[in-house]
Amino acid sequence: MSDLAGTHLGHYRLLRLLGKGGMAEVYLAYDEEKQREVAIKMISGHNVDYLERFMREVAAVDKLTHKHILPAYDYDSEESWHYLVMPYIPGGTLRELLEEGPLSPTAALELLEQIADALQFAHEQGIIHRDIKPSNILLRDAHYAYLADFGVAKFVENSNRLTQTGTLLGTPEYMAPDLAEGPATSSTDIYALGIVLYQMITGQLPFVAETPLAVYWKQIRDQPQSPSQHQPSLSPAIDAVILRALEKDPHQRFHTARELAEAFRQAIEKPEHYLAQERQRLRSRLKQERKAATRRPLRLRRPTPPSDPSFLPEATPVAVKTRERRPVAITLPPLPIRRRAARSNDLETPYPAQPLSQQIVREQPRIRRRRNTMVVSIVALGFLLFVGLPMSYMYYVFETHRSQATVLPVSTPSIQATQQAPQGQPQTPASTGAAPTITGSTPLLDDPLSANTPGRWTEDANHCVFASGSYHVNVLQTNFLQPCPLLAPTIDNAAVQVEVSLRSGSNAGVMLRVQGEGFYDFEINNQRQFFLRRHDPGKGSSYTSLIPPTTSSAILPGGLPNTLLVIANGANFKLYINGTAVGEATDSTYASGQLALAAGTLAPLPGGEGSFTNFKIFKVS
């Protein structure tokens, strides 16, 4: 389409080109009849598909009258041109505003409420937008927004050729994973609005890749990082709101756009109240899922993989392949140590040599899940997204942070450790089911961790702190592991349970059978994954993975409390999260040792915090 500046369309004189996309050009024009500046969207009638989308937008805008939906002044055609006349909005787009940096939560809330109200109004009129993104949100100023561009909108009551061709319409960075399996719905718009909100407060997209198909493949299979990973000042409540909007399962998202906006307001104004509500909702959901699982009939056939490929069945082995990462070291006074020679059949992950003699490597989980029939079918639909993309592009490699060597002297008894991006081994098949009855027995130790009155825990002014009714393990720098040990005799066979909230940072959990620089480690991370691993004295930066990082829907997101239970009985370890069995492993290297609670960080996070309550130890016969 040649530059049409200076020409006339009826009583509209085209002044200059404002922008253009795949199907249309937008001009600043002067309405000589009304004596005002307007924006005119133009397409050529030679392209049938583009014309149909253009007519769709005309019909949608004509049906929608809302103060935050960009209205239409006029529609007409002249020769081969079809054009739509709209108000000229000089403030630019939300995309241009975000190029200057992320917004504060309160500024984002102001715009979110306006767009959510407009979007829900469209949904109530039976119209699905299908292309919610910052470039389709126009700004009169920094405080007033318009939802625009209904060119790929879907009318719920109608079915037409554009929705039957098998082509997925929209922008991959904002497209919900369920679009690979079914039609656009109000929930897919809410998912896109959640990504816009994520982008507003972090300045980042949750999923990026080199090709559009690779981006959408991430939408299907990957879990987004918590917004606080990009902006550590964001609260767990804000994390919880956005992660719910980005749930893979549309039934777990907010039901309406206004509900999303209201939840975000509550997360800003009453974060603890919102977290309590969300905790109850998620626990009720897990209870219903466990109840439904017990009612399922036993079928002697291969299980059907879930429609959400980012959550694997707990019993499915996962092959893990990672890149080498440079470890970092934390020097801490060692606990009493019992040395044991490494066995030849240990699964070890080599790391570069470190300048310190005693180190423990921590890992940042990365998983490559195996392909299965359902995933392949989902991806097959995704291939229709863009013609000509390589059919062999099926998955990508997770990007992780590179660590830098740092040392922190700590005066309290603790474990010497290194915070490190992980390299996992093939997974031990995980078990499923409810928590055992052992937690119903009388515990040997029952500590709410509201205060250190018995003096049984490590405590200092900065790292291991009792405050606000819980025990806080604070990590004060990046690429760092901070343990806080229980000051008690060694423990052998026992069930250890604690409620942990990963408020910030990369991971938090329990270390058990600690013997100097050797111990077992059961933790959850900010990717809704759990892992169990072992470190041995004298191994430098090698780590044995007993259960590699594994995504589990049993883990509550967004800084919500998760109850971890590990039953260590001889060489057998059974892991539970929120009452759900998630994994089992066997290892006889350490028979006893001390206990510690821990939290860790990886770059670029400058610090982290794990909050612990309700610590219990049960006897195992």
Q: Measuring CA to CA, how many Å separate 606 from each of 351, 514, 602?
A: 23, 27, 8
Helix, strand, or coil here: 537?
A: coil
CA–CA distance, 397 with 405 (Å, rounded to integer): 24
Task: Give 512's contacts (C-beta < 8 A, 6+ positions apart).
Answer: 491, 496, 519, 520, 521, 522, 566, 568, 593, 595
Cβ 560 vs Cβ 282: under 8 Å:
yes
131 carries an active-site annotation:
yes
Q: Return the sign of the alpha-carbon dihedral for residues 117, 122, 124, 130.
A: negative
CA–CA distance, 430 with 248 (Å, rounded to integer): 22
Query: Which element (helix H / strand E) includes 483?
Result: strand 480-485
The single residue of 131, 308, 536, 587 carrying the catalytic annotation is 131
Of 509, 619, 524, which is closest to residue 569 (Cα–Cα)?
619
Q: Measuring CA to CA, how many Å separate 224 from each of 194, 208, 219, 246?
A: 11, 11, 9, 8
DSSP 175-226: --GGGGTS---HHHHHHHHHHHHHHHHHSS-S---SSHHHHHHHHHHPPPPP
Q: Is 616 assigned a ligand-binding role in the annotation?
A: no
Of 189, 187, 152, 185, which is closest to residue 174 (Cα–Cα)?
189
CA–CA distance, 530 with 528 (Å, rounded to integer): 7
CA–CA distance, 240 with 198 (Å, rounded to integer): 11
Count Cα neighbours of 473 within 13 Å in the Cβ-side half-sphere.
31
Of 329, 328, 304, which is closest to residue 316 (Cα–Cα)?
304
CA–CA distance, 61 with 140 (Å, rounded to integer): 18
What token pair was written down for 240? 């919880």
CA–CA distance, 245 with 190 (Å, rounded to integer): 7
Cβ 175 vs Cβ 219: under 8 Å:
yes
Helix, strand, or coil here: 476?
A: coil
Q: Measuring CA to CA, how many Å separate 129 from each of 69, 148, 170, 451?
A: 11, 9, 9, 52
Annotated binding site: 41
Annotated binding site for ATP: 41
Tell me the catalytic residues.
131
